[in-house]
Amino acid sequence: MNEIELEHSTPSPEGERRHPTVLQILPGLNGGGVERGTIEMASALKESGGMPIVVSSGGIMTQELKRIGVRHITLPVDSKNPFVMRRNVVRLAAIVREFNVDILHARSRAPAWSAYFAARKTGAHFLTTFHAAYTRGGFFKNAYNSIMTKGERVIAISDFIADHILKNYDIAPEKVVTIPRGVDCRKFNPAAIHAERIIDMARSWDLPDGVPVIMLPGRLTRLKGHTTFINALAQIKDRDFLALLVGSTEGREAYCNELNSLVKSHGLEGRVQIKGHCEDMAVALMLSDVVVSATTVPEGFGRIAVEAQAMGRPVIATAHGGSMETIIDGETGWLIPVGDVDAMAAALAAAIDLSSEEREAVAIQAREHVMTHFAVEHMCNATIALYNDILGR
């Protein structure tokens, strides 16, 4: 696994760094860590003098690209239909030629197949980012996954993902480059949050004064470990707290009903609330006293735990995947075994019982940890360096 530094990028033959045209391709732009990283990378590339293009099937986040002046092209690249994917090859090849694209950067499997063959047709460079440890299966599933290893370089968003790639795919280690995902420490900064924003959200969520707030952000899916969290809360219900499940509930009404039934069975009605999607997570995290990531499957990086630490909040997370790299156990948070209700309850009690002095010490160390290792500038600079390295080759 290689680390790329900006100052080590290969200069162009003219002695100046290239300003590449890079087309990033992903299924859609409807929210999520992959989508956020794509937009951050497009913005950084533009600021550095390059030309970013994003291709997706569209979504609400296309407005952010428009706002920063980045071209978005809508294609059905979210489709796994082989006939649609084949047509996408032709469409992408035409885009590459029209805009003189240097690099096709694929961030997901279905669009990566189309981008790979478009790169072969046009001679453009092909790069991939592994955002997750894709589930292994039979021959066809593994072959489908393998497209993500076909890049001239393969970006792993954590050492956990890099290890997964090397253990499960036939790939030369020198092709794999670890570039951790980054968080915008200007946006996720307690000093940047105006009191009016905090008051407005606290009022809209009807939060009581003086009650510790425990937050579990993330889409309402079983993979997020909500049942472990609720069962752990039942063990400490003699304490004062309000627990919030913050994340999209769209299409998951049955699961919401199941969670509400579990809450009721523990006598936690009103103390555990589902708040749905939140547009301003920086403020939401600011309103919390402790943030929980109870995922039952390892995440490639675990962005929410890093955002919470950037906001100076202690984090409780399951001890697998990217969390093992982003949380300092016992200092910026607690790492607990997957599905361990007793350990979750103990960590929740410890977090609630932190004194104001202890909480302030955690806040300082957590934010410093993120700014040192996981600031978005580190991710963007290393990726641009990799682009230049590929072009230099």
Residues 76 and 202 in one domain: no
Q: What pLDDT score was predicted for residue 10?
A: 38
First-to-final CA distance of the chain: 18
* CA-closest candidate to residue 188, choices 371, 333, 380: 371
Beta-carbon contacts of 135 under 8 Å, excluding residues fewer than 6 positions away, are: 141
Domain residues for the domain of 70 are 6-182+375-392
**Single pTM value for the model:** 0.87
Q: What pLDDT score was predicted for residue 7?
A: 33
Q: What pLDDT score was predicted for residue 3?
A: 42
Q: What pLDDT score was predicted for residue 197?
A: 95
Q: Is 131 inside any structural domain?
A: yes
Question: What pLDDT, in 10s, does the model give residues 137-162?
Answer: 888 899 999 999 999 999 999 999 99
Residues 326 and 343 in one domain: yes
Enumerate residue ranges in the chain where pLDDT < 70: 1-18
d(C-alpha 383, C-alpha 230), whole Å: 39
Q: What pLDDT score was predicted for residue 150?
A: 96
Q: Is 1 inside any structural domain?
A: no
Amino acid at 275: K
Owner of token pair 């890079």: 22
Q: What pLDDT score was predicted for residue 4?
A: 37
Q: What pLDDT score was predicted for residue 239?
A: 94
The count of domains in the chain is: 2
Q: Can you say whether the dihedral through the CA atoms of 313, 319, 324, 330 is positive or negative?
A: positive
Residues 77 and 195 in one domain: no
Residues 196 and 172 in one domain: no
Residues 69 and 195 in one domain: no
Q: What pLDDT score was predicted for residue 341?
A: 97
CATH number at residue 211: 3.40.50.2000
Amino acid at 374: F
What are the helix (H) ranges across the chain? 33-47, 62-67, 82-99, 109-122, 139-145, 159-168, 195-204, 226-235, 253-265, 281-286, 303-310, 323-326, 341-352, 356-373, 376-392
Q: Is 254 inside any structural domain?
A: yes
Q: What pLDDT score was predicted for residue 18?
A: 60
